[in-house]
């Protein structure tokens, strides 16, 4: 899987390089000047310009929304206490650096008549930008490359989601956990059932986006709101209730900066969540342009809370240890018991963790 991820990352850089090279060359006779690129603004919504600037944050917030994928693969990583934080910072830093370059290239190559770009007959502004610069054949080639890369990134997210689903199933935190928990020996000790479960759910959600643009926007925004909640709750719990219990790892910003950084992150996550709830077109949306994220997100959150308080709280006790005592050092055993983790050391659970289902 690590080798596949390397291929996926490489394909991202191929798309970036192709765009950065092709657009300036194709638009060499009508490139926009530096003043247009860095100084001019445009507001195609009915929101005030200041708030439109805030809503523009949704694009980068959504773009970096999967930087935590390496967290879900931490159990398969070497030295995860260092590799995972480094992966997160590298992901965000790369998005910022290469995204900044791409935005400059797009601003230099785009048709100044922005309404003709956003209202393109192709239904995709990026396709129109390519078409204006490199023509029909170049656009087909670049868009096919872009679609392929997006598909590969979808596989990356599927990998991360399946590991997270398996981890929750291992702890008994999901419906049908016993079904999704086994590991497949035949396919290289991977959570095969969790992978196919996530793939099926992705297909269902993908079909929902075909209903209407409002449905697609709501589901995309749900990814922002859901991720922000998942990141913000543990950070908030740590600084409010768990500060005295917090044990820093090798990647630590220090006592002086750790808490201010945490509160900054919380404020930013709340800000991003609120942004995701607003209709992007203006303050008086129609049923077709309304942002239904607040409805879908509320349903998901209320449904999760209802599931927990109605049933799961009666039996869910937190993370479980699925390896035997003899596989742990004495220091690890003491640390595990100090944290109050439930130990599941039966033969059945060892089989789920190691032997798998053989499928």
CA distance 4 to 22: 27
Residues in Cβ contact with 283 at an 8 Å cutoff, skipping those fewer than 6 apart: 46, 47
Q: 342 has which bridge partners? A: 320
| Pair 107, 100: CB distance under 8 Å | no
Q: Tell me what pLDDT residue 349 has.
A: 43
Q: Tell me what pLDDT residue 167 has.
A: 86
| Pair 139, 121: CB distance under 8 Å | no
Q: Is 76 helix (H, G, I), strand (E, B) or coil?
A: helix
| Pair 31, 24: CB distance under 8 Å | yes
CA dihedral 93, 94, 100, 105 (to 10 degrees): 170
Q: Which residues of 317-331 are buried (b: 16+ CB within 10 A; e: fewer)?
A: eebbbbeeeeeeeee
CA distance 133 to 27: 5
Q: What are phi and psi of 243, to 5 degrees?
A: -60, -40
Spans of the chain below 50 pLDDT:
342-355
Q: Tell me what pLDDT residue 324 has.
A: 65
| Pair 239, 259: CB distance under 8 Å | yes
Token pair 């709830």 is at which residue? 277
Is the pTM here over 0.75, yes or no?
A: yes
């Amino acid at each position: 899987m690590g080798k596949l991820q390397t291929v996926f990352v490489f394909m991202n850089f191929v798309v970036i390089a192709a765009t950065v090279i092709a657009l300036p060359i194709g638009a060499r006779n009508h490139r926009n000047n530096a003043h247009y690129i860095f100084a001019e603004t445009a507001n195609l919504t009915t929101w005030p310009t200041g708030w439109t600037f805030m809503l523009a944050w949704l694009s980068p917030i959504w773009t970096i929304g999967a930087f935590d994928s390496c967290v879900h693969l931490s159990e398969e990583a070497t030295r995860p206490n260092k590799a995972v934080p480094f992966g997160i910072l590298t992901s965000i830093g790369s998005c910022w650096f290469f995204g900044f370059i791409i935005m400059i290239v797009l601003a230099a190559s785009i048709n100044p008549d922005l309404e003709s770009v956003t209202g393109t007959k192709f239904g995709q502004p990026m396709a129109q930008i390519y078409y204006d610069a490199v023509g029909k054949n170049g656009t087909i080639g670049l868009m096919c490359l872009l679609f392929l890369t997006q598909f590969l990134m979808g596989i990356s997210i599927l990998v991360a989601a399946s590991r997270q689903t398996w981890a929750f199933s291992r702890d008994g935190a999901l419906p049908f956990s016993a079904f999704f928990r086994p590991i497949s020996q035949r396919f290289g000790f991977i959570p095969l059932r969790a992978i196919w479960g996530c793939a099926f759910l992705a297909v269902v959600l993908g079909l929902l986006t075909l209903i209407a643009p409002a449905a697609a926007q709501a589901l995309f925004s749900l990814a922002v709101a859901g991720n922000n909640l998942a990141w913000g709750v543990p950070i908030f719990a740590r600084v409010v209730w768990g500060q005295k219990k917090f044990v820093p790892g090798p990647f630590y910003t220090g006592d002086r900066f750790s808490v201010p950084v945490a509160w900054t992150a919380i404020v930013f996550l709340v800000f991003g969540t609120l942004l995701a709830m607003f209709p992007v077109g203006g303050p008086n949306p129609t049923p077709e342009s309304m942002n239904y994220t607040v409805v879908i997100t509320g349903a998901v959150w209320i449904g999760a809370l209802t599931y927990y308080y109605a049933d799961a709280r009666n039996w869910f006790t937190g993370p479980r240890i699925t390896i035997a005592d003899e596989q742990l050092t004495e220091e690890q055993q003491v640390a595990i018991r100090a944290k109050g983790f439930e130990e599941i050391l039966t033969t059945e659970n060892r089989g789920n963790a190691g032997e798998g289902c053989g499928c």
